[in-house]
Structures are given as C-alpha cells and as structure tokens.
C-alpha cells in the first residue's frame, strides 16, 4: 500500500479548517491542522509534509511570514499554497515573491483546493 | 488572600481530573479539542495570575499561603490582593464560560452513560467556579466603592414592611417562629439608600433563616431622632447554632464562614456578612455581633439617616400600574433554589397569576408540553441544564406556540457576556436579582405585550427588520452531501457567531478596535460559506468602522441589531439543516 501524502493546513477559522480537512482527508490525504502560525512552526520542526496550505491572516505568524520561514530559514522547496481573502492582492504578490507556488481566494471551494493540491503534487514529483 | 485562590485551584484540579477521565473516542474530535483547549488556556492564565503576578507587570505583594489573613485595620495589605482577586476573576471568566459552553455542547452529543456523568461533572464544577468568580467580582465592586450608596428620600416603614414580607416568604419550616417589630414611631421619610438598607437587613435575616433549624427569629427596629438626623437600630436575632468566639471577630471578613456552620451547597464564598459590613460602613453605620454556641446569635445594626421632608420618589412608591393584565396568566418558573422559587411564587400569586413551578428543568419541559403557558421565568443558573440551554430548547421547539413563548431571565449578575448569551438564546428580557416587585411585574408585562406584538408581526414577516438570508446549499455540496459533516459545520458556525457577538459585546464597550477587527475577520469565513449576505455586509461595516478607529457607538448599534437578529438567523439555520436530514 502506498503511504498517504501528508499536508499541513494552517487556517485559524475552525469551521473552514474542519471543512477543508474533512474534504482533503476524503480525497486521500493525511492532514495536520494548525490554528495559528506558531503551531505551524512547531509542526515544521518535527518534519516537512508533502505540501503546505497557509492562510494569510493568522495569529502569531502570518501566512506570509511562514512562507518566508519555509523558503528562507528552512530552505525547503515543499509545494506551498496560500489562502487569502479577495482584495488582499498585495499580500498574495508578496507571497509569490517569497516563493509560494499557488494561491486560492476565499471563500475557498474545497473541490478547487483539492484539484490544485493534486496538480501541485504531480508537478513536484516529476 | 491566597485561600480563595487556592480554593479556585482545588476546583480546577477537580475539573482536570474529570476531564482526564473522559474518553474522547466517541466525541467529535473538534469538540473534544475545543474543550481541552479552553481548559488549558484557562489553567495557564489562572496559574500565571496567581503564582507569578509580576509577569503581568504589577506590583502585588502576595502573602504566603500560611500567613494569617489581614484584619480590618490592615486595609493596605488586603487592598492589593483585592485588585488581584478582581483581575483574576475577570480574566478567568471568559475562558471559564468557554468551558461551561463546550461542556454543554458535549452533553448534547451522543454520549454513553459514563461520559454523560463526566460531562455533567465538568459542567457542575465549572458552573460552581463561575459562581465564585462572580461573587468575588461583586465583593470587589463594593470594596472599591464603585457602587456608592444612593441619597434619596424614602419611607422607612415601607422598606421594613417589604423586608418583613420577604423574610416570611423565605421561612419554609413551620418549626420556626418569626417576630418582626417596629418599636415606637419612625420618621415618615428618611434620606439615604433604601435598597442597601433592605439588602443589609435581608442578608442578616436570610442568614438567620438559613442557619436556624427551629426556634425563633426576630427583628426589632428602633429609631432615635435628633434634630435633622435619625439613627435606626435593628436587632436581628436567632436561636441557631451560634458562632464560636474564635470565629466571631472574623465573621465580617470575607471568606470566614464559621466552621461549625455547615456550608449550604452553592451558597458561595461567605461574602454576605462582609458585604453587610462594607455597606453599613459606606452608609456611615456599624454592624456588630454577639453569639453563644448552641444558643444563637444577635446582630446589631446601626444606620444614620437624614430626615427627609419630601415625598419619596414616585418610582419606588407607585404600585405597578397595570398588573391587572397579569391576572389569570399562566407563568412557568424554572428555578432550582426553593427559597427563590417560593419568593417568586408569592409575588406572582399576589398578582393573580397561575404559577407552575419547575425546580428541575425536566419538570418544566413537561409543563410546556401539557399546559398552556403564557410566559416563562427562567433562572439562568440551574444544575443539569442551565437557563440558556432550556431557553434554546424552547426556541427550537417543534411546537410553534412554545417556540414563540416570551422568556424572562432571572440572574444575580449582569455582565456583557451574560447579555450576549441571553440575546443569543432568544431570551427577551432580564430581571436582576434581588429584584423589586416592580422590576418583576414590569418585565412580565413587557414580555406578554411583546409576545402579542410578535404574533402580529409574524403574519407579515417583511415588517420585522432585516431578514437573515443564508443558504446551506453550497456548504451541502462542499460537504460531499454528508449530513453529519453539514451538521458539524452548522454547529461550528453557530459557535463562531456566538463567539463573535461575545467579543463584540466586550470590546465595543471601552472600544478595542484591534480585537473588534480580529473578531470580525474571524467570523467572516463562516458567513461566506453560508452565503449569509446581510450579516456579511454588517460585519464589513463593522470592520470599516474599526479600521478607522471611530464609531464605537455605531459598532455598538450594529452589535445590538445583530444580537437581536441572531435568534432568527439561528432558526433559519436549523430549519434549513433539517431539510437535509436523511429521510426528510
């Protein structure tokens, strides 16, 4: 049996997080949920998952800071999707500058997120 | 001071033990996680405050746990610990409410008998703690003199008559006799604080009634008139267990219930006599005690007043104008404390109401089904299922008539959190204990009138404010048409909105715009998922106001109308959810 691919989902809104986690798990991923930036850093210290999903507005460390942390401090190339509210284009551009691979706008459609996750994973394993 | 902190910590360990005994396998992981998280936060905050006060940048000199408590002359020593008490109490109330709330949610889930017992225990322990915290805050308020005594003209005879009446209704035991005597004439009018005066007497008499099994309780009132002033002397005596000499000098200090007086469950921390002492002092009077173990106790109260000539304020004296509309109304009372129940019953019967008594919530829910009730009077703190939960049950009842019943809450503490929760549960009005007959009758009349108007509005819905529009369709698809998941989402959404309203209530008072912005941001995701556009627009307006750091009053206004609209949002939410129920 092939081991499931693992994701870290960083999203401070519990409702949205539960929904996304549920759908991603149904789609066959192992999902670890972090409710704030600090929890994400703690998780990353125990190892890197196959893909990262960061909400931009989060307590302690924003998604932007986390992108910077992953790319520049951990120097990891783990595929990374940022989630942001519409109208926050500046932040999204910053995230891309820092090395985010994809961006998805809120309200997030779980189906769309799954498609993007799969696409990124295929790309990165090539 | 640390004795009460340690008391809290003891409670906390109890709570933790119960929590650890909990088997989480069958609970939804989100609920379990929430409960654990609120508990951890709570514990950290509490311990942080108690054991390392310097970490919050304040200079508290904490006496060591073994040191004796301060005596009245040493005000300065107790003052800083009072500040600490207030701070601790205030800080822990919010996470504590979280524990109570989530424990409540747990109990609504599918639990086995053992888990149900554990959840009940968590709820009971955290409820008891909340009560303590509130008592501490009351005590602090009085000490700080936040509530200075009033200076109004009043008729002492009328106040005393009320006290006599209330005391009589409190005496349930026929082995007790009660004598109430006013010796000699009293001035017609005095100037001072009539409600404090009666609160002091009620505390003394209440204690006497509580602790005396049989025999006699008496209250004698005398007055000594000098030129423009009048001193009132009241002697309150009982044939109760008495207070040992060693305890006597500490009896007016907080937390010093005499040891041989058994604590009555849920009766709090023994702040009553210390409050009496504070109040009497604030009014320029004194209170003292004599007692013999096995024979009884006597409290002597002396209060100076100025003699008034004017008419007492109409507000106090005027009989409630239209209590006649209460005649024949069927009122259901949820109240677990038999004394309070008796009191409310006496009042309502006096107005010609038909009273249904529910000392336990289950009895009350039965009455709702079998009797035609016009209005529900709801104590918010009850064991088993509290007033909020019962009110929600009423609002979600399958029977439309029951769903629309006016509910008036009774509570001893009125805080922004209580306010938000009350509104969120669809409780229309609130009476703060201890209440005057006028306050009660007014709330009842208002409740009955509004119910009438509401029924009229129901028939043409477009008249009734802005409609909560939301749709579960998209979320249903997003949930892969899995009903359990949808239900879980709806629950989370509801919690999220409640949390938001709570935060908004607190942070819009002395406005903290950053907190408001964060709360608004947090609730938006859920509102979007449910396409609740009307609410979303409001939230965005609030965000704009908060961003520009102005318009606290406007934010407050939004809060009011959102809170008022919440029960409707909730009703639509659950109605829609039902449509997705398998087999619906």
Chain A positions in Cβ-Cβ contact with residue B478 (cut-off 8 Å): 19, 23, 109-111
| pLDDT value of residue B144 | 64
Chain B positions in Cβ-Cβ contact with residue A16 (cut-off 8 Å): 525-526, 529
| A106 CA: distance to closest CA in chain B (Å) | 8
Number of other CB atoms surrounding residue B343 within 10 Å: 20
B108: pLDDT strictly greater than 70: no
Does A110 lie at the interface with B, CB-CB under 8 angstroms? yes
Rounded to the nearest angstrom, the gap between the alpha carbon of residue B200 and the centroid of all alpha carbons in its chain is 20
Mean pLDDT of B395-405: 86
B200: closest CA among B298, B304, B290, B277? B277
Chain A positions in Cβ-Cβ contact with residue B524 (cut-off 8 Å): 85
| B479 CA: distance to closest CA in chain A (Å) | 7
What would the two tokens of residue B71 be? 């005596």
| B488 CA: distance to closest CA in chain A (Å) | 9
Does B544 lie at the interface with A, CB-CB under 8 angstroms? no
In chain A, the residue whose alpha carbon lies closest to the alpha carbon of B491 is A15
Chain A positions in Cβ-Cβ contact with residue B485 (cut-off 8 Å): 19, 22
Q: What's chain A's average pLDDT? A: 88
| pLDDT value of residue B2 | 52
| pLDDT value of residue B264 | 34
B470: closest CA among B412, B512, B533, B558? B533
- B318 falls in which pLDDT band (50, 70, 90)? very low
Residue A107 is nearest to which of B485, B488, B529, comparing CB atoms? B529
Q: Give the tens place of pLDDT for each residue, B326-339.
A: 888 899 999 887 76
Residue A26 is nearest to which of B480, B489, B496, comparing CB atoms? B480
B47: pLDDT strictly greater than 70: no
Sheet strand arrangement including A102-106: A30-34, A6-10, A51-55, A80-85, A102-106
| pLDDT value of residue B265 | 31
Does B547 lie at the interface with A, CB-CB under 8 angstroms? no
Q: Give the tens place of pLDDT for each residue, B417-440.
A: 777 788 888 888 888 766 677 778
Best A14, A63, A91, A105 member to test B by mutation, with max B CBs in 10 Å, is A14
Cβ burial, residue B232 (10 Å; 0-12/13-18/19+): buried
| pLDDT value of residue B268 | 38
Q: Please give the DSSP secondary-structure letter assigned to residue B237.
A: E
| pLDDT value of residue B222 | 93
Q: Give the tens place of pLDDT for each residue, B442-489.
A: 889 888 887 776 665 444 333 334 444 788 888 888 888 888 889 988
Asked if B496 and A14 come within 8 Å (Cβ–Cβ), the reply is: yes
Q: Which residues sit opposite A10 in a β-bridge?
A: A34, A54
Q: What's chain B's average pLDDT? A: 76
The C-alpha atoms of residue A48 and residue B576 are separated, in whole angstroms, by 41
Best B34, B498, B525, B533 member to test A by mutation, with max A CBs in 10 Å, is B525
Residue B478 is nearest to which of A14, A57, A110, comparing CB atoms? A110
Does B470 lie at the interface with A, CB-CB under 8 angstroms? no
Asked if B524 and A110 come within 8 Å (Cβ–Cβ), the reply is: no
Predicted TM-score (pTM) above 0.90:
no
The C-alpha atoms of residue A49 and residue A7 are separated, in whole angstroms, by 5
| pLDDT value of residue A82 | 93
Chain A positions in Cβ-Cβ contact with residue B493 (cut-off 8 Å): 15
Does A28 lie at the interface with B, CB-CB under 8 angstroms? no
| pLDDT value of residue B75 | 44
CA dihedral B199, B200, B202, B205 (to 10 degrees): 170
Residue B88 or B294, more confident? B294
In chain B, the residue whose alpha carbon lies closest to the alpha carbon of A55 is B525
Residue B492 is nearest to which of A15, A109, A110, comparing CB atoms? A15
Chain B positions in Cβ-Cβ contact with residue A114 (cut-off 8 Å): none
Mean pLDDT of B384-411: 87
Mean pLDDT of B81-89: 67
The rounded percent of chain B whose pLDDT value lies above 90 is 12
Mean pLDDT of B479-508: 88
In chain B, the residue whose alpha carbon lies closest to the alpha carbon of A27 is B480
Does B529 lie at the interface with A, CB-CB under 8 angstroms? yes
Low-confidence winner among A47-51, B207-211, B381-385 (lowest mean pLDDT):
B381-385
Asked if A13 and B522 come within 8 Å (Cβ–Cβ), the reply is: yes
B78: pLDDT strictly greater than 60: no
The C-alpha atoms of residue B44 and residue B50 are separated, in whole angstroms, by 10
| B516 CA: distance to closest CA in chain A (Å) | 14
A64: pLDDT strictly greater than 60: yes
Chain B positions in Cβ-Cβ contact with residue A23 (cut-off 8 Å): 478-480
Does A16 lie at the interface with B, CB-CB under 8 angstroms? yes
| pLDDT value of residue B131 | 67
B314: pLDDT strictly greater than 50: no
Residue B489 is nearest to which of A15, A57, A111, comparing CB atoms? A15
B73: pLDDT strictly greater than 50: no
In chain B, the residue whose alpha carbon lies closest to the alpha carbon of A12 is B522
| pLDDT value of residue B6 | 65
Asked if B489 and A19 come within 8 Å (Cβ–Cβ), the reply is: yes
Beta strands (DSSP E) in B106-164 are 152-154
Beta strands (DSSP E) in B86-182 are 152-154, 176-182
A·B CB contacts under 8 A? 45
| pLDDT value of residue B216 | 92
Chain B positions in Cβ-Cβ contact with residue A115 (cut-off 8 Å): none
Provide the angle, in degrees to the nearest 10, between the axes of the packed helices B552-580 and B533-547.
150
Could you please report the per-residue DSSP string of B467-508?
A: PP----HHHHHHTTT-HHHHHHHHHHHHHHHHHHHHHHHHHT
Q: Give the tens place of pLDDT for each residue, A30-45.
A: 999 999 999 999 999 9
Q: Give the tens place of pLDDT for each residue, B184-229.
A: 888 888 888 887 888 889 888 888 888 888 899 999 999 998 888 8
How do beta strands A51-55 and A80-85 pair? Answer: parallel
| pLDDT value of residue B256 | 45
How do beta strands A102-106 and B176-182 pair? Answer: unpaired
Residue A15 is nearest to which of B480, B496, B521, comparing CB atoms? B496
| A75 CA: distance to closest CA in chain B (Å) | 31
Beta strands (DSSP E) in B245-399 are 286-292, 296-308, 330-334, 354-358, 375-379
| pLDDT value of residue B397 | 85
Chain B positions in Cβ-Cβ contact with residue A107 (cut-off 8 Å): 525, 528-529
Low-confidence winner among A62-71, B262-271, B362-371, B542-551 (lowest mean pLDDT):
B262-271
Please measure the distance between the N-terminal and C-terminal CA atoms of chain B and give it in whole angstroms: 58
Best A12, A14, A15, A32 member to test B by mutation, with max B CBs in 10 Å, is A15
Asked if B485 and A19 come within 8 Å (Cβ–Cβ), the reply is: yes
B534: pLDDT strictly greater than 80: yes
Q: Give the tens place of pLDDT for each residue, B227-248.
A: 888 999 999 999 988 888 888 8
């Amino acid at each position: 049996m092939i081991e499931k691919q693992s994701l870290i989902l960083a999203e401070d809104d519990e409702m949205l997080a539960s929904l996304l986690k549920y759908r991603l798990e149904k789609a066959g991923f192992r999902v670890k949920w972090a409710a704030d930036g600090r929890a994400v850093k703690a998780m990353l210290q125990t190892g890197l998952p196959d893909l990262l999903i960061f909400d931009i507005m989060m307590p302690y460390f924003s998604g932007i800071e986390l992108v910077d942390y992953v790319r520049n401090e951990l120097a990891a190339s783990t595929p990374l999707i940022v989630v942001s509210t519409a109208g926050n284009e500046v932040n999204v551009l910053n995230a891309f500058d820092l090395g985010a691979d994809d961006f998805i706008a809120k309200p997030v459609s779980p189906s769309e997120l799954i498609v993007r996750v799969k696409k990124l994973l295929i790309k990165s394993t090539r | 001071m640390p004795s009460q902190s340690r008391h809290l910590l003891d409670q906390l360990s109890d709570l933790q033990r119960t929590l650890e005994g909990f088997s989480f396998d069958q609970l939804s992981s989100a609920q379990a996680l929430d409960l654990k998280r609120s508990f951890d936060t709570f514990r950290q905050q509490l311990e942080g405050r108690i054991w390392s006060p310097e970490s919050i940048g304040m200079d508290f000199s904490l006496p060591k746990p073994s040191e004796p408590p301060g005596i009245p002359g040493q005000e300065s020593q107790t003052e800083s610990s009072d500040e600490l008490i207030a701070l601790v109490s205030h800080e822990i109330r919010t996470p504590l409410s979280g524990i109570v709330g989530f424990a409540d949610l747990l109990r609504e889930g599918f639990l086995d008998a053992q888990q149900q017992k554990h959840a009940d225990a968590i709820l009971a322990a955290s409820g008891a703690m909340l009560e303590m915290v509130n008592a501490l805050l009351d005590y602090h308020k009085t000490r700080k003199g936040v509530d200075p005594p009033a200076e109004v003209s009043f008729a002492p005879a009328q106040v005393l008559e009320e006290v006599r009446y209330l005391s009589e209704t409190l005496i349930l035991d026929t082995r007790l006799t009660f004598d109430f005597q006013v010796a000699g004439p009293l001035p017609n009018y005095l100037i001072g604080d009539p409600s404090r005066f009666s609160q002091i007497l009620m505390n003394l008499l209440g204690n006497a009634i509580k602790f005396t099994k049989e025999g006699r309780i008496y209250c004698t009132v005398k007055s000594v008139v000098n030129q423009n002033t009048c001193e009132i002397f009241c002697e309150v005596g009982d044939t109760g267990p008495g207070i040992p000499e060693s305890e006597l000098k500490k009896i007016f200090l907080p937390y010093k219930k005499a040891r041989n007086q058994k604590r009555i469950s849920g009766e709090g921390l023994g702040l009553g006599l210390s409050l009496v002492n504070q109040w009497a002092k604030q009014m320029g009077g004194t209170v003292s005690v004599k007692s013999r173990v096995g024979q009884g106790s006597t409290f002597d109260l002396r209060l100076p007043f100025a003699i008034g000539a004017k008419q007492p304020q109409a507000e106090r004296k005027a009989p409630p104008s239209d209590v006649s509309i209460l005649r024949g109304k069927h009122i259901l009372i949820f109240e677990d404390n038999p004394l309070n129940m008796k009191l409310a019953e006496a009042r309502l019967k006096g107005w010609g109401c038909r009273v249904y008594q529910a000392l336990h919530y289950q009895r009350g829910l039965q009455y709702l089904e079998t009797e035609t009730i016009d209005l529900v009077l709801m104590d918010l703190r009850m064991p088993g299922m509290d007033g909020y939960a019962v009110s929600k049950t009423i609002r979600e009842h399958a029977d439309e008539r029951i769903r629309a019943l006016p509910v008036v809450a009774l509570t001893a503490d009125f805080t922004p959190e209580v306010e938000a929760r009350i509104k969120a549960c669809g409780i229309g009005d609130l009476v703060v204990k201890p209440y005057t007959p006028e306050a009660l009758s007014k709330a009842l009349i208002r409740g009955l009138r509004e119910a009438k108007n509401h029924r009229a509005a129901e028939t043409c819905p477009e008249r009734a404010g802005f409609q909560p529009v939301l749709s579960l369709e998209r979320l249903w698809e997003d949930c892969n048409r899995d009903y359990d998941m949808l239900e879980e989402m709806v629950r989370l959404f509801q919690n999220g909105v409640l949390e938001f309203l709570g935060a908004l209530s607190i942070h819009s008072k002395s406005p903290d715009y950053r907190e408001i912005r964060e709360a608004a941001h947090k609730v938006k995701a859920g509102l979007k998922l449910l396409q609740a556009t009307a609410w979303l627009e409001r939230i965005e307006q609030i965000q704009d106001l908060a961003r520009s750091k102005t318009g606290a009053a406007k934010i407050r206004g939004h809060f009011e109308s959102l809170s008022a609209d919440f029960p409707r949002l909730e009703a639509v939410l659950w109605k829609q959810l039902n449509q997705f129920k398998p087999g619906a």
